[in-house]
Amino acid sequence: MPRATCCWTIWPTGSEDRVKHTFDPTTLREYDIRGIIGETLGPDDARAIGRGFATMLREAGGTTVAVGYDGRVSSPMLEHALVEGLTASGCDVVRIGMGPTPMLYYAEASSEEVHGGIQITGSHNPANYNGFKMVFLGRPFFGEDILELGRRAEAGAWIDGQGEVVSREVFEDYVERLLEGLSGIDFDTLSGLRIGWDAGNGAAGPALEALAARLPGEHHLLFTEVDGSFPNHHPDPTVPENLEDLRRLVASKNLDFGVAFDGDGDRIGAVDGEGRIIWGDQLLMIYAEDLLARLPNATIIADVKASRALFDRVAELGGKPLMWKTGHSLIKSKMKEIGAPLAGEMSGHVFFADTYYGFDDALYAAVRLIAASARLGKSVTELRSAMPAMVNTPELRFQVHETRKFAAIDEVKARMARSPHAVDTTDGVRVSTPDGWWLLRASNTQDVLVARAESESEEGLARLVAQIDEQLAASGLGRGPQAGH
């Protein structure tokens, strides 16, 4: 790796002068670190994250960290402080600049000399939020790792050192790697393709422009200018109103389908040529059909919120469906553990490990949607139309005190142990009945319980929702506002 000498702050090494740091308790989340700029998150936090992460990485034998950031106004400030912290604990830093989170993952995964990665991003949160997503020696850094980072900051238990900093251009290599998702497909057969794209003013915009310029067919792009204030709509493609601009574009131009991204480009949303939303589990059905034709008997993972239609379809196609816990870090970890080539979540995180790296990359997922349609010989609209018509609730969330949320789920599990219906407790409680299924689980990142239900009829759905209400009432809890899907 090219070396560049750079001077950074080195914290005092004497025990009496040892610098310590206490994080706001709301910032250390299960899957990442997140907070409100100027209130719960600032440069001192970023510097402490750098010191703790570098210390843990060096103890594990690593020396070099890639650092990237999204398009939020506060991101460059946090990036500067993070790099100070990393180098002050003796790690070398490869700065890759502004881009989507998967570009940071790519920088880490594609280089043997890079041992960890940190992306500064607020993902799909409001503009005044920011945060950190991390990868450590090729695996997600989450859960106990984040708690340990907090404990080390509290004690000031950091290694001291002086790392060096280089900048590296990975943008072009990343975009070229995305195109490999179309490997083996004749571009001439895709010349008539017409696609709409919505970057939502998020960090994926420039990479999307470069990708679309290299793809065959005709491409219509919305909101590719990076703007951390998100002036057009909130960058969360799981919320239907955030897809309205894309739906109008597809309808007005009579396009084949449309794709949208979240704020940092690791979650995908899509609509077909008729403007119908293709949810995360439905996208996974398309990817599964394509992949299982080439990798029969493969295990495909989906989270507990996914449709029964997905699990049934994977089995019907000769694959092995596996229901797993919600959370991109948990899914990635399980995928690596069992060697699954494909996984996905309702939230739009999709993970390919057949010919890619196993991390969630919405730009790559979009390329693979084009590839799947081409290999299967069906339009995205035809693939969406072939799916069974299911009726489901949006994702229902309601407030519950942090100390009660897991206890309440345990109470539901105990009551449902006497149920005649099939009960899955992989993540919360998912109960299958002749009407369909319902789910009740505790959020790992918020003080809420999350519920969802799915049926083939409105009447069946009403009965399932009534069962959720019964369980909530039995634990002394009430229904709350609906949000999301």
d(CA 46, CA 69): 12
Taking residue 403's Cβ as centre, other Cβ atoms within 10 Å add up to 8
Local structure of 28: helix, strand or coil: strand
d(CA 29, CA 52): 16
Taking a C-beta distance cutoff of 8 angstroms, is the pair 264, 119 a contact?
A: yes
Render 103-129 in DSSP notation, one character per residue: HHHHHHHT-TT--EEEEE--TTS-TTE
Taking a C-beta distance cutoff of 8 angstroms, is the pair 232, 200 a contact?
A: yes
Q: Which two tokens stand for residue 221?
A: 């792009």
Taking a C-beta distance cutoff of 8 angstroms, is the pair 291, 342 a contact?
A: yes
- Within 232-298, strands assigned E span 257-261, 268-272, 277-278
Which residue among the candidates 89, 123, 373, 455 is catalytic per the annotation? 123
Which helix (H) or strand (E) is 68 found in, with range? strand 64-69
Look-up: residue for tokens 């739906």?
Answer: 247
Taking residue 419's Cβ as centre, other Cβ atoms within 10 Å add up to 12
Going from the C-alpha of 87 to that of each of 7, 127, 150, 305, the distances in angstroms are 9, 28, 18, 41
- Annotation says 123 is catalytic: yes
Local structure of 92: helix, strand or coil: strand
| Catalytic residue positions, numbered | 123
